[in-house]
Chains A and B, each alone.
Chain A
Amino acid sequence: MEFSYDDEQNGLREAVRGLLGRAYADSEQRRAVVATDPGFDEKTWNRLAEMGLLGLPFAESDGGMGAGPVEVSIVAEEIGRVLAPEPFVETVVLAGGLVSDLGTDAQRAEVLGALAEGSLVPVFAHTEIGARWEPTARSVTATEDGGAWRLTGVKEPVPHGARADLLVVSAVADGATRLFLVQGDAEGLTRSGYRMHDGTRAAKVAFAGTPAQPLGDAGTDQAAAIEKAQARARVAYGHEALGAMETALTTTAEYLKTRKQFGVPLSKFQALTFRAADMYVSLELARSTVMWATLVVDADGDVVTAADRARLQVSRAGRHIGKEAIQLHGGIGVTAEYSVGHYTSRLTALDHLLGDGDWALARLARSVDQHETVDALG
C-alpha cells in the first residue's frame, strides 16, 4: 500500500497546473469562456492535446501515451481545481475508454489518434429520460439492414452532445445493449445544445434512422463494458471533485481570514472555523477513498465496487463542502460574480452525471451481507 506520487507524476501535475492556471487564473476567465458555445476554450483544448493529455491512457500503438489511471487522476484533479470546462473525463475516460476497450484496431487508431491530437471530440451518448445510471439502453434502438445499422430514438441529456464530432451511442439491438459510433454530420441526426447549471454544455440528441457503425464486435451485449467504463469515469470524476472541493475549502478559509464583520475577521468565530475543520475532514476522507479506487482501477481489481465506494464518499463530501462553502461566505457565495458558488454548482453536476451517493449506497447495501468485512489491504 503506497499513496505517494513519483517524481514524474509530480512533474505532470505541475505542468497541468501551470497550463490550466494560466487559462483560468481567475473565475472571470472561466465565465467568459462558458458564456459562448461550445462552453469550453478550443485553444486550451489544443494545448491539452499538445501536452499529450488527451491521449494519456491510450496505448502508444493507438496514438496515446501509454500512461495509467494515476496520471489520468492527476489531470482530472487539476481540471477540477480551476473548474476548467474542457471535457477531459467525458472524452478521454468515458468515450475514449469505451473505444479503447471495445474498438477494432481501425476504430481505435482513427478515434483515439484524433482525440489525442485534439482534432476530434468524442462523447458518450447514453442517458435517456426515464433511466437512472444504468449500463443498459432502453429507448434508442438499432436495426440492421444488409449489414448497415441505423439508430432511432433520443438521448438526453448528453454532456457536450452538440459540440461532439463523434458520438458513442448505446442502443438496444435484439434485446441486448450495444454500442455504435455516429458521426457528427450523419444524416437523420438532430442535436439541440443548452447550458448546464454549471456553465458547461449538454444536448438533446435525436436519431431518426441515423447511420451508425458498431463499436467492436456487434454481436455481443456490451452492457458490462459500459458499466466498467462508467465506473472508471466515476473514479475520474471523483478526482475532478477532489480538485474542486479543495479549492472550495481553501477559498472559504481565505475568506474567513479576510472578511470582517463586527469589527473582527470571521475566523475569530469558532462557530465558523469548526465548520471549516469539518469540511477538511470530509475532503481528506474522500481523497483517501478516491485515491484507493484509482489504485483498484490500476490493478484491474473490482473496479465497479471500488467506484461505488468512491462515489458514495465523494457525493457526501461534495454536498457537505459545496453547501458549507456558500454558507460560510454568505450572500456573495450565491452570486455568479464570485467563484465559490460555481464550485458548488459543478460539484452538484458531478454528483448526478453518473450516479449519486444514495444510488451508490443502495448498490453497496445489496451486497453488504456477502462479506464479513471490507478489507482495505486485501
Chain B
Amino acid sequence: MSWRNELLAVWAVTLRNALMGARNVFFFFELLFWPIVGVLSIGLMSRFLELTEAQASFVLVGTIALSVVNVCQLEVAYAVLLDVWSKSLKHQFLAPIGIRHLTLGSWVVGMVRSLAVFGLLAALGRWAFGFQVLQPGWLALATFLLGCFLTAWVVGVSVCALITLFGNRAEAFAWASVNMVLVLAGIYYPISVLPDPIAAIARAIPLTYFLDAYRAHYGFASEFSAPIATGLALSVLYAGLAHWAFLAAIHRARRTGLLLKMSE
C-alpha cells in the first residue's frame, strides 16, 4: 500500500468518526457533562476538605487526566464499536484496510476531542479553583498530554480486541477494565499509598509515570527515577501488544464467524 493510500484510509476513518460525533447529541454529553461534573465535584470537595493549593492541584490533575483518557480511549474504541452498533462491521473488513487505519483514524479524532475537553476543564479549573495547568510549562504539559493519549490508545485498542474476541457481551467488561486501569494508575493519590501487590500493578501502567512527572512540577517529589522515559517505553510496549491482540482477535473472528455474527 502506498503512503497516499495509507493516509487516505486513516483520513477516511477520521472523517467518519468526526461526522458521527458531530451528529450525535450523546457524544456531546460525554464530551461535556461528565468531565465538568468531575472537575466541579473534586474541586468543591478539595475546598471542603481545606486542601492546600498544591494538594488541590494534585487531585485536579488526576480528574482532568481521567476525563482526557476516557474521552480519547472511547473514541479509539469507536473504531470497532460504531460498526458493531450499526452492524456494518463486515463492510469495513471487506475493504483493503488494516486495523492501523481504523485505530489511528479514531485516535486522531480522540485526541482532538480530548484536547477540547482538556481546554475546557483547564479553563474551568482556573476560573473556579485557581488551578494553573501551565504552571509546569508547555513542554511538561505536552508530555503529560502525550502520555494520556498513548494510554488512551492502548486502552482503546485493547477494548477493540476484547469486543472482537468475545462479541458485544464484552462491552461491559471492557468499560469496567478501563476504569480499573485508571484507578490503579493513581488518579487521586500517589501509588505509594496502595498495598504492595497492587502498587506493583500500578507501576506497570504508563499513565502512573506521566501523572507522577507532571505532579512533580506542583511540588510532589517524583516516586520514580525516569518517569517519562519509563512511561514512554511502557506505552510503546503495550501499544505493540494491544495492536497484536486486536490483529489476532480479527483473525480469530474471521475463523469463528464472529465477524459475520456481529454484522447480523
Decide whether A and B assemble into one complex. Answer: no
Q: Which residues of A contact B (CB under 8 A)?
A: none
